[in-house]
Structure 1
Amino acid sequence: MKQKNTNTWVSWNENLKYNFEKLYKVTTEEELQEAISSNEKIRFFGSKQSSADIAAGTNALIDMTGYNKIVSYDYNKKTITVQSGLILRELLEAIEAVGWCISCLPDINTITIGGALATGTHGTSGKLLSEYMIECNLVLADGSLKKITKEDPLMDAVRVSLGMLGVMSTITFQCEEEYTLHVKEGPEKDSEWLPKIKSRLKKHDFLRILWLPHTDRGYVITGDKIDPETEVTENLGPRYLKHRRNASKILYKYTHIFPWLTAIANKLLYRGFFSAKKEHKGSLYQATVTKSRGSTLELAEWTIALDKFPKVFAELKRELNKWGNKSFVHIPMDVRFVYQDKSWLSYAYGHDTVTMGCVSRNAATADTYEAFKSVEKIFIKHGGRPHWGKRFVAKDAELSKIYPMWEDFKRLRSELDPTNKFLNPYLTNLVNEKNKVNAIA
């Protein structure tokens, strides 16, 4: 373990910056325990790709990216144990190499395993990635190690915890046999795809919709399990589709000054990049996971119960189509589906869920991106829940109303971390510990 004085921690898109005094680069569980036990305040980071302000803000920081080994396989049980700093890409490649998969994968593969679990990272047509975790070692605030299994009552609290209960060390995932998807993609009018959501979730093994604001259309992606030997006539669309990111950068360049230009840009991007049909096959990882993401992005994402989504979508669409406001949204808005679970801070706690992403292609001007505010206002109104690793302004008062286990989580957090070692300024405000301290004083 190396410890050194340094200066500034900077997030992936340079929107968050913090000075700090000590940086620990850990490679073993013992080094991780020592770093935690020897500091009064400490946070930890991986690939820095969170839009939420959760990774830094303390004088001592732990860089988890060197803690990145595959520990073991259990070939009979189809489980793999890894260190939490491992990049998701390396985990997925490792399990595919032995013929396994995790049946619900997030959009990108460049995040660390620990960060992905702590913030509730998810894919579509399955459960949160954390639901496939069946065991983990958790380093507590005093540096001690606690093993948590799927039978442990604490597991439902630990699965998604923003690193407020402790630092995940080693993690064991339950995998399954790898399968092949036949993927079909193409545009549909909003009046077509919206009523078909529930029937498509029953019919298809994979469903994702990229909604295209200001065009009245969505781009529907379905996937069905097939025999790997089944022949599929591949159609990846025109070659120029690979230039969508560059085209978006150009078309959205001045939309923070003239928001109405977004509607024009969206129509052009739809015609150029979302109007063609595509078809291909591959493993879940090969067929559905984006292999990179530009650091010019800033993201928010909100979730809502499946039964409430049509009403929320209609209200959101009306609001975004008003020329009197400045909430013009860059495309696409990613619509995905997560099945209910029992994890305390899961978006899908207690009900099947629709998630809806909101993206700004101009990260530097994200603070004035009105769409984030409009989307949050509508989802909060209907009991929506924010993605923990993305932008939102809701705090304790709002979160206590939309997460049934919020107060239980806060009590457990206080028990496991009585001195608030793992709270930075952002998290202190999120759980209202600042006001509690002031009240005691």
Structure 2
Amino acid sequence: MKQDKNGLWVSWNENLTHNYKSLYKITSEKELQEVVKNSDQIRVFGSKQSSADIASGAATLIDITTYNKIISFNDSERTITVQAGVILGDLLEAIEAKGWCIPCLPDINTVTIGGALATGTHGTSGQLLCEYMTKCTLVLADGSVKEISEKDTLINAVRVSLGVLGVFSEITFQCQPIYTLHVKEGPEKDKEWLPKIEERLKKHDFLRILWLPHTNKGYIITGDKIDPNTKITEDLGPKYLKHRRKTSKILYKYTHIFPWITAIANKLLYRGFFSSTKEHKGSLYQATVTKSRGSTLELAEWTIGLDIFPTVFEELKTEINKWSNKSFIHIPMDVRFVYKDTSWLSYAYGKDTVTMGCVSRNAATANTYEAFKSIEKIFLKHGGKPHWGKRFTAKNTELSKIYDKWEDFKLLRRELDPTNKFLNPYLTELINEKKHN
């Protein structure tokens, strides 16, 4: 176990900084227990890619990325057990080598498993990543280890826990046999793709929509399971498509000063990078997951019931197209679909859900990005929920109205962590915990 003292913690996009007194790099569950037990206040971080101030801000920090072993496979049950600091990409490569997959994957593969679970990370056309967890061990505030399985009702609270119930240690995932997707991509007008969502969810195994604000267009990505030996004519589009992020950075460089430039930039980006069709095949991981983030950015994401998404979408579109409010949105807005579950702090608790991501390509000026405020106001109005690992301003008052199990979660948190060991200032305010014992 390595310990650094009195340093500065800086997030991936450099928007969040915190001083700490001790930072530990651990490699075993025993070391994890020891640090947790002997700390007054502690937070755990991984790849630092959260836009929410959730991972740091305590005197003691644990860098979980060194706790990263793949522990075991169970071939008969098709499960894999890993330590919480394993990077998602390493987990996925390990299970693909076994001929397995997890049938719903996040957009990026650079996050740690523990952080991804705690913040409700998800993909599309399936359930939250945490729903494929069948068992875990949790290091509690007193340093003891609690094993939780699917048979325990507690697992519904633990799956999305914000890291305030305990620290994920070892995690077991249920996998499925690997399959090949035939992926097709191309643009459609908003009036065409919006009414087809439910029809496409039934027809295709994979659906993702990149909405292009201020263009009246969406970029539709569908995937269908096929025999891996099926021959298709691959078309990855023009070679210059790989320069989209670099071009975006240039076009959006001054949009924090002149927001209206965004509307023009979006039209140029649509013509250059989203107007052509593409076709390819591969595993879910190969075909749909981004393998790197490229340049830094700032993210917000909101979720809403599938049944009312069209209404919310039209209201949002009307609002951001008003030149008076400066809520111009960089493209694309990522529209994905998550199926209902029973996890207390899941966005999909009890209902099928649509998620809508909002990105600022200028991370340093995200505080003046009016779009974040507009999308939050509209989604909250309709009972929408924020992504726990991304940017939002809603606190206890608003959250208690949109999460049926919010108060139950808070009571359980107090029971498991009576001295508020796992809280930082951001989380203390988020759940309205008035004092430390």
Please report the TM-score for the alignment, with normalisation by the length of structure 1: 0.98
Partner of 2:145: 145
Partner of 2:415: 415
The 5 A counterparts of 1:2-21 are 2-21=2-21
**Distance across 1 between alignment mates of 2:174 and 2:4:** 37
The 5 A counterparts of 1:388-399 are 388-399=388-399
Partner of 1:95: 95
Partner of 2:270: 270
Aligned residue pairs, count: 437
**Distance across 1 between alignment mates of 2:14 and 2:295:** 8
Partner of 2:297: 297
Partner of 1:219: 219
Partner of 1:194: 194
Instruction: Name the SS for the 1:62 alignment partner.
Output: strand
Q: Which runs of 5+ in 2 are unaligned?
A: none
Partner of 2:378: 378
Identical counterparts, % of pairs: 76
**Distance across 1 between alignment mates of 2:74 and 2:410:** 35
**Distance across 2 between alignment mates of 1:197 and 1:209:** 9
The 5 A counterparts of 1:242-281 are 242-281=242-281
User: Which amino acid is the alignment partner of residue 311 of structure 2?
Assistant: K
User: Which amino acid is the alignment partner of residue 297 of structure 1?
Assistant: L
Shift of 1:179: 0.1
Partner of 2:345: 345
Shift of 1:296: 2.0
The 5 A counterparts of 1:3-402 are 3-402=3-402
Instruction: Name the SS for the 1:351 alignment partner.
Output: coil
Deviation digits for residues 65-124 of structure 1, max 9, x if unmatched?
000000000000000000000000000000000100000000000000000000000000
**Distance across 2 between alignment mates of 1:6 and 1:91:** 33
**Distance across 1 between alignment mates of 2:289 and 2:423:** 32
Shift of 1:6: 3.4
Which aligned segments of 4 or more residues in structure 1 are displaced greater than 3 angstroms? none
User: Which amino acid is the alignment partner of residue 82 of structure 1?
Assistant: V
Deviation digits for residues 39-89 of structure 1, max 9, x if unmatched?
110001000000000011111100000000000000000000000000000
**Distance across 2 between alignment mates of 1:118 and 1:59:** 20
User: Which amino acid is the alignment partner of residue 370 of structure 1?
Assistant: E
**Distance across 2 between alignment mates of 1:242 and 1:94:** 27
User: Which amino acid is the alignment partner of residue 164 of structure 2?
Assistant: M
Shift of 1:2: 1.3
Instruction: Name the SS for the 2:230 alignment partner.
Output: coil
**Distance across 1 between alignment mates of 2:117 and 2:295:** 21
Answer with 67-76 or 291-300: which moved more. 291-300
**Distance across 2 between alignment mates of 1:271 and 1:261:** 16
Shift of 1:3: 1.6
CA contact (8 A) 1:137 1:171 kept: yes
Shift of 1:7: 1.3
Instruction: Name the SS for the 1:5 alignment partner.
Output: strand
RMSD of aligned Cα (Å): 0.8
Instruction: Name the SS for the 1:7 alignment partner.
Output: strand
Shift of 1:184: 0.2
Please report the TM-score for the alignment, with normalisation by the length of structure 2: 0.99
Instruction: Name the SS for the 1:224 alignment partner.
Output: strand
Instruction: Name the SS for the 2:6 alignment partner.
Output: coil
**Distance across 2 between alignment mates of 1:427 and 1:321:** 34
